[in-house]
């Protein structure tokens, strides 16, 4: 055995050395080039405003869906009929605009801007603008058939229901553009690493790069579905389509995409909310661990959406279920960290007692309040998600109203309400305009939260009674949902009320947003509304060699990315290869166009 003093793994490492500055909020490198900074802010603003325009239209359609689940069919109204051919077209628009367009545009702006500022990087603005234009072009292409009732496929667009080719091509271009944003951020980070050898990646950049890397692994399923299954099929290059291969590839991306929506909200909760509330980040190393767990574990879980599907091995279904349960861990860690940061904030403001401190949080601040309410909704959403992911319980609620009940308090509140709350400071920061009507902003987040709680209770309840999701249940030929033995009156009433509350809350929010955007520029957002970086209780430090084991282990993100890719190939490869070997092609069908009804 060698006793070389160079290798002394048995000796304890010296305690991580942290400088006093590590505990204080990060000071981001200044950007001197004013024209560049203005352009960076402009492109971010374009992404964010496009996102909220999509949400605006989506939110206006929302109550129509809620009323349906209250047993009231409004789709026969002649004025509405001129705009929307069916409930299903309304639902397709609502789902695509809110869940796919709003999220992706907001995240592409938010997670392009944050790391660029965090690193003080100079990114290629032509590329950034080109990506925005490409994403918007894709959106507009997909929007045409959607608005013309030629792609009434809901946001899952399961074949062999076949829409107009423009929808598939447009959606593919839109998603591909988000991958270019991902690449631009990752390449910028690699440049930063080269320029700063031996340094720990700053937290915001770390979390952002992790999220984009996760999205690149997750998106492979959808990219594969679009390029190798759907597009060749709609252009007639294949005799048909295997619906099960398409569905499996869809859920490869389709579940991980919820983490792609959620993590950008987590970034705000971890990095900025403590400062906004007057507290400190609990632990930077723990935040890094959380994000790495999401990078590794977000994607190989999608088969839990397919328990009801035939010809997929039950062993793989159970493996994916177990991995889904494991993804709860980083979310539980987040709950701990954020609650800790908020408690720290409240105690600094004079809060006392085991729960009494909660009242000392800055409840008058719409941005803080919105994000806290978003988190509260996610407690129910996360717990419901674990139930939903269980193979034992899934058959009872699969494709019932329970599911939209679930995802309206996850993506519909935890994510959407967070993004709305972030916009209360982000828009003033980007534009130099002041938030219009802060009191109205505060009311709007409370109403959104209250509406979603009503909706969630109503829809979970209806689902347990056996009412299916995505169905015009208010106008069935047989009145099995409204009458008979179901006793659905109370949950239906709750759902109907939720539609009204959400419409009012939504309109108030959009009044605040548009009034802010249309107001004159009054000051420099850099000065009056700087990025709310927070102080830290347990920092990661900046010197890699002296950082803790956790920080050093999580730092090589490129290697962890390769592990994530290997893991997803391992967990999906055997399933997909077997499906391909047994491919069973069927023709496309259209049962949604007016007067249509048939297969090719």
Partner 1 sequence: MAPRIQRLDHHTMEKYENIWFGIAVVMSVLLAVAVFASFLSGTIPRIEDEGGGGHHLEGVKNGRINSRNFAGTPFATPGLVDNKDGTYSAFVVARAFAFDPPVLKVPAGKPVTFYLTSADVLHGYYVEKTNVNATVVPGQVASFTTTFRSPGPLNIVCDEYCGVGHHNMLNKIIVEAPQP
47 neighbors 128 (Cβ within 8 angstroms): no
Beta bridge partners of 161: 589
DSSP state of 536: E
3-class SS string, 424-438 = HHHHHHHHCCCCCCH
535 lines the binding site for partner 1 (CB under 8 A): no
510 binding partner 1? (CB under 8 A): no
Alpha-carbon distance of 207 to 148, in angstroms, equals 40
Return the SS3 of 9.
coil
Contact 488, 463 (CB under 8 A): no
Q: Which residues of 238-273 are buried (b: 16+ CB within 10 A; e: fewer)?
A: bebbbbbbbbbbbbbbbbbbbbbbbbbbbbbbbbbb
Binding-site size for partner 1 (CB under 8 A) equals 75
Measured distance CA(451)–CA(447) in Å, rounded: 6
**Residues of this chain, 87-106, that bind partner 1 according to CB under 8 A:** 88
CA dihedral 394, 397, 399, 402 (to 10 degrees): -130
Nearest residue (CB) to partner 1, 287 versus 295: 287
User: Is 56 a binder of partner 1 (CB under 8 A)?
Assistant: no
Upper half-sphere CA count for residue 79 (Cβ side, 13 Å): 0
What is the smallest separation between the CB atom of 198 and partner 1, expressed in angstroms?
24
Using CB under 8 A as the binding rule, whether residue 154 contacts partner 1 is answered as yes
Determine the interface stretch with partner 1 among 188-196, 255-263, 473-481, 563-571 (rule: CB under 8 A). Answer: 473-481
Closest to 39 (Cα-Cα) out of 31, 49, 29: 31
**Minimum separation from the CB atom of position 508 to partner 1 (A):** 32
578 among known catalytic residues: no
CA dist 373 to 85, 343, 368, 420, Å?
A: 36, 15, 9, 12
Q: Which stretch binds partner 1 (CB under 8 A): 166-174, 194-202, 374-382, 390-398?
A: 390-398
Q: Is 148 in the site for partner 1 (CB under 8 A)?
A: no
Please identify which residue in 37, 72, 86, 553 interacts with partner 1, judged by CB under 8 A.
Answer: 86
Nearest distance from residue 434's CB to partner 1, in Å? 32
CB of 389 to partner 1, least distance (A): 9
Q: Which is nearer to partner 1, 399 or 528 (CB)?
A: 399
* Out of 400, 413, 431, 516, the residue judged to bind partner 1 by CB under 8 A: 400
Q: Select from 470, 502, 525, 564 the one that contacts partner 1 (CB under 8 A).
A: 470
Q: Could you tell me the end-to-end alpha-carbon distance of the chain, in angstroms, rounded to an integer?
A: 75
| Both tokens assigned to 28 | 């981001």
Residue pair 569/60 in contact by the 8 Å Cβ criterion:
no
Residue whose C-alpha is closest to residue 530's, from 306, 272, 340: 272
Give the C-alpha separation, 1 to 3, whole Å.
7
Among 37, 179, 517, 537, which residue sits at the site for partner 1 (rule: CB under 8 A)? 537
Please identify, among the stretches 45-53, 165-173, 243-251, 563-571, the one whose residues bind partner 1 according to the rule CB under 8 A.
243-251
Q: Kindly tell me which residue out of 228, 391, 511, 514 binds partner 1, with binding defined by CB under 8 A.
A: 391
The nearest distance, CB 438 to partner 1, in angstroms, is: 28
Of the residues 26, 94, 408, 546, only one is catalytic, namely 408
The piece of 123-131, 264-272, 519-527, 582-590 that touches partner 1 (CB under 8 A) is 582-590
Is residue 363 part of the contact set for partner 1 (CB under 8 A)?
A: no
Letters for 298-337 (x = contact with partner 1 by CB under 8 A, - = none) are --------xxxxxxxxx---x--xx--xx-xx--xx--xx
**Per-residue mark of binding to partner 1, 163-192 (x: CB under 8 A):** ------------------------------
- Interaction of residue 565 with partner 1, rule CB under 8 A: no
What are the beta bridge partners of residue 296? none
Does position 585 bind partner 1 by CB under 8 A? yes
* Distance (Å, whole) CA 191 – CA 550: 23
Cα 347 to chain centroid distance, Å, stands at 31
Residue 49 or 203: the one with the smaller Cβ distance to partner 1 is 203
- DSSP code, position 543: B
Shortest reach from residue 136's CB to partner 1, in Å: 28
Query: What is the CB neighbour count within 10 angstroms for residue 331?
Result: 21
Q: Give the count of alpha carbons within 13 A of 529, CB side only.
A: 20
Q: Which of residues 111-140 bind partner 1 (CB under 8 A)?
A: none
Looking at the Cβ atoms of 341 and 568, the one nearer to partner 1 is: 341
Task: Tell me whether residue 255 is one of the annotated catalytic residues.
Answer: yes
Write out the binding residues for partner 1, residues 281-300 only, by CB under 8 A.
282-283, 286
Looking at 67, 157, 407, 419, which residue is catalytic? 407
CB half-sphere exposure, 5, CA atoms < 13 A = 0
Applying CB under 8 A, which of residues 24, 122, 238, 398 lies at the interface with partner 1? 398
Q: Which of 117, 305, 469, 546 is catalytic?
A: 469
Binding of residue 514 to partner 1 (CB under 8 A): no
Tell me the C-alpha to C-alpha distance, in Å, between residue 517 and each of 49, 367, 509, 514, 598.
9, 17, 12, 5, 47
Shortest approach of partner 1 to residue 555 CB, angstroms?
20
Closest CB 82 distance from partner 1, rounded Å: 17
- For residues 244 and 253, give the distance between their C-alpha atoms in angstroms, rounded to a whole number: 15
Q: Return the number of the residue (273 or 420) whose C-beta is nearest partner 1.
A: 273
CB 299 within 8 A of CB 320: no
CA 254-260-261 angle, 5° bins: 95
- According to the binding rule CB under 8 A, does residue 572 interact with partner 1? no
Active-site residue, 469 included: yes
If one asks whether residue 399 binds partner 1 (CB under 8 A), the answer comes out as yes
**Catalytic (active-site) positions:** 255, 259, 406-408, 469-470
């Amino acid at each position: 055995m060698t006793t070389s003093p160079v290798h002394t793994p048995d000796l304890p490492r010296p305690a991580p050395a942290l400088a006093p500055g590590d505990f204080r909020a990060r000071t981001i490198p200044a950007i001197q080039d004013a024209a560049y900074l203005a352009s960076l802010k402009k492109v971010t603003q374009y992404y964010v405003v496009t996102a909220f325009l999509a949400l605006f239209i989506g939110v206006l359609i929302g109550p129509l869906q809620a009323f349906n689940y209250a047993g009231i069919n409004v789709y026969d109204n002649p004025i509405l009929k001129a705009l929307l051919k069916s409930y299903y077209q309304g639902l397709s628009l609502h789902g695509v605009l809110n869940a796919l367009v709003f999220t992706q545009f907001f995240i592409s702006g938010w997670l392009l801007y944050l790391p660029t500022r965090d690193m003080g990087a100079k990114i290629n603005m032509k590329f950034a603008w080109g990506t925005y234009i490409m994403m918007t072009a894709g959106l507009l292409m997909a929007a045409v058939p959607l608005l013309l009732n030629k792609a009434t496929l809901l946001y899952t667009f399961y074949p062999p229901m076949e829409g107009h080719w423009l929808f598939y091509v447009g959606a593919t271009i839109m998603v591909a553009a988000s991958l270019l944003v991902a690449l631009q951020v990752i390449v910028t980070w690699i440049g930063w690493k080269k320029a700063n050898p031996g340094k720990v990646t700053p937290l915001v950049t770390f979390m952002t790069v992790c999220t984009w890397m996760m999205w690149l692994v997750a998106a492979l399923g959808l990219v594969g579905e679009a390029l190798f299954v759907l597009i060749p099929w709609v252009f007639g290059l294949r005799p048909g389509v295997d619906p099960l291969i398409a569905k499996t590839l869809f859920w490869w991306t389709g579940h991980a995409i919820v983490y792609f929506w959620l993590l950008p909200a987590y970034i705000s909760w971890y990095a900025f909310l403590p400062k906004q509330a007057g507290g400190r980040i609990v632990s930077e190393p723990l935040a890094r661990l959380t994000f790495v767990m999401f990078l590794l574990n977000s994607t190989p879980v999608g088969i839990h959406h397919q328990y009801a599907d035939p010809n997929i091995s039950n062993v793989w279904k159970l493996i994916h279920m177990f991995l889904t349960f494991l993804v709860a861990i980083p979310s539980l860690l987040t709950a701990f960290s954020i609650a800790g940061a908020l408690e720290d904030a409240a105690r600094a403001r004079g809060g006392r007692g085991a729960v009494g401190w909660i009242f000392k949080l800055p409840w008058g601040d719409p941005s803080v309040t919105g994000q806290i309410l978003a988190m509260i909704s996610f407690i129910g959403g996360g717990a419901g998600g674990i139930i939903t992911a269980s193979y034992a319980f899934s058959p009872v609620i699969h494709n019932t109203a329970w599911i939209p009940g679930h995802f309206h308090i996850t993506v519909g509140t935890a994510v959407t309400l967070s993004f709305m709350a972030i916009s209360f400071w982000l828009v003033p920061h980007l534009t130099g305009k002041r938030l219009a009507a802060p009191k109205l902003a505060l009311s709007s987040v409370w109403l959104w939260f209250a509406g979603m709680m009503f909706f969630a209770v109503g829809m979970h309840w209806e689902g347990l009674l056996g009412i299916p999701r995505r169905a015009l249940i208010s106008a069935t030929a047989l009145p099995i949902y409204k009458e008979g033995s179901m006793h659905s009156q109370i949950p239906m009433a709750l759902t109907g009320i939720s539609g009204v509350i959400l419409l009012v809350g939504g309109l108030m929010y959009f009044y605040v947003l548009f009034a802010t955007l249309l107001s004159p520029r009054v000051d420099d957002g850099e000065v009056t509304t700087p990025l709310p970086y927070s102080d830290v209780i347990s920092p990661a430090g900046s010197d890699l060699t002296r950082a803790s084991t956790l920080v050093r282990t999580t730092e090589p993100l490129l290697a962890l990315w390769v592990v994530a890719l290997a893991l997803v190939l391992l967990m999906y490869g055997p399933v997909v290869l077997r499906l391909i070997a047994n491919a069973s092609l069927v023709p496309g069908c259209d049962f949604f166009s007016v007067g249509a009804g048939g297969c090719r």
